Chains A and B, each alone.
Chain A
Amino acid sequence: MGALRDCQVDARQTEDGTPLPPRASSIIELLFPFFFQKREKKSRGEKMLVVRKKMLGQSLLIRPAVSVLRSYSSSAKQMTVRDALNSALDEEMSADQKVFLMGEEVGEYQGAYKISKGLLEKYGPERVLDTPITEAGFAGIAVGAAYHGLKPVVEFMTFNFSMQAIDHIINSAAKSNYMSAGQMSVPIVFRGPNGAAAGVGAQHSQCYAAWYASCPGLKVLTPYSSEDARGLLKAAIRDPDPVVFLENELLYGESFSVSDEVLDSSFCLPIGKAKIERVGRDVTITAFSKMVGHALKAAEILEKDGIDAEVINLRSIRPLDRSTINASVRKTNRLITVEEGFPQHGVGAEICASVVEESFAYLDAPVERIAGADVPMPYAANLERLAVPQVEDIVRAAKRACYRSVPLAAAA
């Protein structure tokens, strides 16, 4: 052990990573280290920077709130989907005077599912409109208002009732921009719960994702978590084109953790981009809305059987994020599509066609489609459970895609 020369680097560090000062090579150096320390010549500018930083450090009050929040972004809050939608509506209505909400029971009753709670008190009856039970009427009125630059958010009590207004959604809203050669922009959002609820029967349980997603001129969004709900609803309201926003009644009460970035009022998710909820290697599972939760649970079960599933939350059915899906299939070589709606001409059929068109050579197994049963939704609870995809169905499909009939021994 001798003294280090200048050319040698003392790599010792203290426990917290700060480099130790170089060893003294003589007693004088030990007693009077100041005279022997190499000091970098700082420019005047650098010295001013140091002074300025010290001054800022003392005046923490000036620091903007956002950066303080971001420094605590590791703390996650819980937020229900209902609160996420409510807060998104509230923020967009306060940001833009042209945004208004209309639908059945959205005002006085605070919303059929309490999504619009508090909005009537805050914005008044001119911006939160209780409509009579005429979907065709108020959807058409909203489209007419959108022609003139207002931004209506139309709530359907369920999307089953949108069939009463589907003429206006498709013919007046979706097609107008094209028919008028771009002269008419329709910045409208149609939102409401979609798909099966609990025991509400055949006429209240259909999933309309495939129907609306087949229509050019519409955008169709299907949020799953609170982050999805907030970001996608804000994006939908800001979008200049008609958007069909398919929520799920059973998800309204579910809580998800949200970061501070999600809670920021400028938070917005891009339309047309899927999210990979769980990265995997062996099989790709695509899902949207409530089925994302089922797919994630199925992935946990599959992991115990040695199958590492990648779960994609589609978020946007139209435009469909084909590039993310195909990239995932090219990685895993197996695909399962999960949806709640009827199987024929469904979302899974479109995804399967897209993968066959673009990534056929990468497929090691036929694409598995998990969908609702090809019957109108029954009422009896046991039949309803059989008519909607369950976690076990996804697990079985994944095993079929991986050509495993017998579960392997679980890894430790």
Chain B
Amino acid sequence: MSTAAMFGAQPFPLNPISTTSHDIPLVFSKHTCQFLGLTWSSKFNLSRRSGTVVSVSDEKMSKSAPVLVITKEEGLELYEDMVLGRTFENMCHQMFSLRKIFGFVHHYNGQEAVSTGFIKLLKQQDSVVSTYRDHVHALSKGVPSRAVMSELFGKITGCCRGRGGSMHMFSRDHNLLGGFAYMGEGIPVATGAAFTSKYKRSGLRSCCLGVFWGWGLQQCALL
């Protein structure tokens, strides 16, 4: 069984979990992504494994023994991140309804898996450029939830000392490059941040994740 660090440049650790008779391992086609450090196997077979997450390692894949992407501890960590996001956004909604948070608030309830799934793969030095719907991105990137909530309340203890607000979360320490209000505005900025890696020849040691959704593509900044 190959082992790997969850958040590093190596494949995920694979630990067996108790199987049931109808479980079939989930296998993906082989693809090596240097940035994410994932290595997937050469075959692609759809299968299901109820209650457990499976993936493959390259050489050690065997059809009979199911293999996993993440350990139980890592799974709990990811789950905690998603629950934090959900709880946080629920509280935001409550506070907004009570008019304690004002202006624009864009909730991320229901999408936590996207934020957790992408951002938890990154390292501290990697950057994230987000949109106006950026609370949970900030949380997943590691900005303390107290700082994010204070920012929404416009307090000096917020991550931007009350100057940014809901849509403009910045954190130099966590390489969160904002919070942009316009549709698709962050796409060129994320490209520029990634360009810096190329310019400085830091190459594979850092990457930049730009988040946007459907309507942002219409801005056509990068098309």
Binding site for B on A (CB under 8 A): 100, 126, 134, 136-150, 167-168, 171-172, 176, 178-181, 183-184
A184 pairs with B178, CB closer than 8 A: yes
Partner of A149, one of B163, B182, B196: B196
Given A167-B182, A183-B160; A141-B170 close (CB under 8 Å): no
Interface string of B159-176 (1 = CB under 8 A from A): 011111000101110000
Partner of A144, one of B160, B170, B190, B219: B190
Given A181-B161, A183-B172, A184-B172; A126-B181 close (CB under 8 Å): no
Q: How far is the CB of B130 from chain A (nearest CB, A)?
A: 13
A181 pairs with B163, CB closer than 8 A: yes
A172 pairs with B164, CB closer than 8 A: no
Residues of B contacting A136 in the complex (Cβ-Cβ under 8 angstroms): 188, 219, 221
A179 pairs with B164, CB closer than 8 A: yes
Binding site for A on B (CB under 8 A): 127, 129, 160-164, 168, 170-172, 177-182, 185, 187-196, 199-200, 208, 219, 221-222
Q: Which 6 pairs of residues, A with B, have the shortest CB-CB distance?
A: A144-B192, A140-B188, A180-B170, A141-B192, A181-B161, A144-B189
Partner of A140, one of B187, B200, B208: B187
Q: How far is the CA of A181 from the CA of B159 in the complex (A)?
A: 8
Partner of A137, one of B170, B182, B188: B188
Task: Name the residue on A nearest B196 (C-beta).
Answer: A148
Q: How far is the CA of A168 from the CA of B129 in the complex (A)?
A: 14
Residues of A contacting B179 in the complex (Cβ-Cβ under 8 angstroms): 179
B163 pairs with A176, CB closer than 8 A: no
Partner of B191, one of A144, A179, A183: A144
Partner of B177, one of A137, A147, A167: A147
Q: Can you offer 25 A-B residue contacts whose CB atoms are under 8 A? A: A134-B221, A138-B188, A140-B185, A140-B188, A140-B192, A140-B221, A141-B188, A141-B192, A143-B189, A145-B199, A146-B192, A147-B189, A148-B196, A149-B196, A150-B196, A150-B200, A167-B182, A176-B178, A179-B163, A179-B170, A181-B160, A181-B163, A181-B170, A183-B160, A183-B170
Residues of B contacting A184 in the complex (Cβ-Cβ under 8 angstroms): 170, 172, 177-178
Residues of B contacting A144 in the complex (Cβ-Cβ under 8 angstroms): 129, 177, 188-196, 208
Residues of B contacting A100 in the complex (Cβ-Cβ under 8 angstroms): 199
Q: How far is the CB of A54 from chain B (nearest CB, A)?
A: 54
Residues of A contacting B219 in the complex (Cβ-Cβ under 8 angstroms): 136
Residues of B contacting A134 in the complex (Cβ-Cβ under 8 angstroms): 221-222
Residues of B contacting A181 in the complex (Cβ-Cβ under 8 angstroms): 160-164, 170
B182 pairs with A147, CB closer than 8 A: no
A137 pairs with B221, CB closer than 8 A: yes
Interface residues of chain A: helix, strand, loop or mixed (majority): helix
Task: Name the residue on A nearest B199 (C-beta).
Answer: A150
Partner of B180, one of A137, A145, A146, A171: A171
Partner of A168, one of B160, B178, B188, B193: B188
A179 pairs with B178, CB closer than 8 A: yes
Task: Name the residue on A nearest B168 (C-beta).
Answer: A179
Q: How far is the CA of A383 from the CA of B103 in the complex (A)?
A: 48
**18 extra A-B contacts, CB within 8 A, seeds A148-B193, A148-B196:** A140-B189, A140-B191, A144-B188, A144-B191, A144-B192, A144-B195, A144-B196, A144-B208, A167-B185, A171-B185, A172-B185, A179-B178, A180-B164, A181-B160, A181-B161, A181-B170, A183-B172, A184-B170
Q: How far is the CB of B62 from chain A (nearest CB, A)?
A: 44
Q: How far is the CA of A110 from the CA of B163 in the complex (A)?
A: 42
Q: How far is the CB of A66 from chain B (nearest CB, A)?
A: 33
Q: How far is the CB of B76 from chain A (nearest CB, A)?
A: 32
Q: How far is the CA of A176 from the CA of B190 in the complex (A)?
A: 14
Q: How far is the CA of A398 from the CA of B135 in the complex (A)?
A: 58
Q: How far is the CB of B183 from chain A (nearest CB, A)?
A: 10
A143 pairs with B192, CB closer than 8 A: yes
B163 pairs with A178, CB closer than 8 A: yes
Residues of B contacting A179 in the complex (Cβ-Cβ under 8 angstroms): 160, 163-164, 168, 170, 178-179
Residues of B contacting A143 in the complex (Cβ-Cβ under 8 angstroms): 188-189, 192
B181 pairs with A171, CB closer than 8 A: yes
